[in-house]
Amino acid sequence: MAGWFSRLVVAMTIRMPKWFVGWVSRRYVAGNTIPEAIKVMQRLSKENACFTVDVLGEEISTMDEAQYFFDEYSNLIEAIIEHDIDSDLSIKPTAFGLLIDPEKGYTNIKNLVKLAAQHDMFVRLDMEDHRVTQATIDCVVELHGEGLSNVGTVYQGRLFRTLDDIDYLEQKLGPAADYRICKGIYLEPEDIAHTGYSEIVTATNASIDKMLAAGAYCAVASHDKPVIDHTLSALESYGMGPGKLDPRKNAGPSRNGKGPGYEFQMLLGVRGPLRRKLAAAGHKTRVYVPYGEKWYEYSIRRLQENPTVGAQVAKAFLMPWTNRP
């Protein structure tokens, strides 16, 4: 019943006028511009949150479009530093041209990672659909090989290949591997991905266990209680937690702005009370802050690719007081 209701809400919302979609998405998108994103982060900084910022927009059609993203992220780095905000960057590799021209796309990404490294800032390569999974992983390995260790990627628990991919990065990078692990927003074909909720949660939890065992940095990006509860239990088994140095003998190097081997991440506007509860307990909590002119496309895509968001949309519309960002 819940799934049916969510799909109905999504179907209705994407047919609404653009202004209505904008009204719904304003709690999930930090505006169109850098100053608007900075304002949102300044507000949430008072709740002990740190951030990762994403300039909305992904797969491009020409390499000329990649220059916009490089310039925008360069300006974003300056603004983050100017306003002394605890934030790193999240980028879509396809927005830098990785699918159109792999060599030039890699160079674009490398130049941004180098710029961020000059300011001791971390860059997360977001994981997109299965067409770019291997290319994204290879990009991270190559960057580390060139001495740029301020970069990591995202693994999606729902993909069958993820456990093997964790082994691969452990072999290539050792404990220097730095992951964001999530269930995965892309609804991939059933021959390469789990499709049932319980299966996806179980696979995501198995990925978290393997990452922690490898000594890697593990950023758990989930709003699901079963995933968060599993993570808290796993952390306790390793003696990890708030106010403690990472006790794992194979732990990777500590980095500026990072937690003691782990952190929790949540989307802007989603499950704010849970995020504040984790932060109050002393856990490093990071908010994923998307902004930009492509807010409409981003909002529609999230709705279409993950219909379960529909229930959250309905709740935000009918009972906004129950889920303050």
What pLDDT is stored for residue 23 in this prediction?
54
What pLDDT is stored for residue 153 in this prediction?
96
What pLDDT is stored for residue 314 in this prediction?
52
Cβ atoms of 148 and 114 closer than 8 Å: yes
What pLDDT is stored for residue 1 in this prediction?
43
Instruction: Please report, for the chain, the start and end positions of each structural domain, with discontinuous segments joined by +.
Output: 1-29+304-325, 33-291
Distance CA 260, CA 243 (A): 8
What pLDDT is stored for residue 26 in this prediction?
64
Statement: 33-291 belongs to CATH 3.40.50.720: no
What pLDDT is stored for residue 255 in this prediction?
85
List, as one string, the DSSP characters of 128-192: -SGGGHHHHHHHHHHHHHTT--SEEEEEETTBTTHHHHHHHHHHHHGGG-EEEEE--SS---TTT
What pLDDT is stored for residue 309 in this prediction?
55
What pLDDT is stored for residue 11 in this prediction?
62
What pLDDT is stored for residue 321 in this prediction?
47
What pLDDT is stored for residue 322 in this prediction?
47
- Nearest CA among 121, 108, 177, 175 for reference residue 150: 121
pLDDT per residue of the chain (325 residues) written in tens, 0 to 9: 445 655 665 566 556 655 555 556 667 788 889 999 999 999 999 999 999 999 987 778 899 999 999 999 999 999 999 999 999 999 999 999 999 999 999 999 999 999 999 999 999 999 999 999 999 999 999 999 999 999 999 999 999 999 999 999 999 999 999 999 999 888 788 999 999 999 999 999 999 999 999 999 999 999 999 999 999 999 999 999 999 999 999 998 888 889 999 999 999 988 889 999 999 999 999 999 999 876 566 655 656 555 555 555 555 554 454 445 5
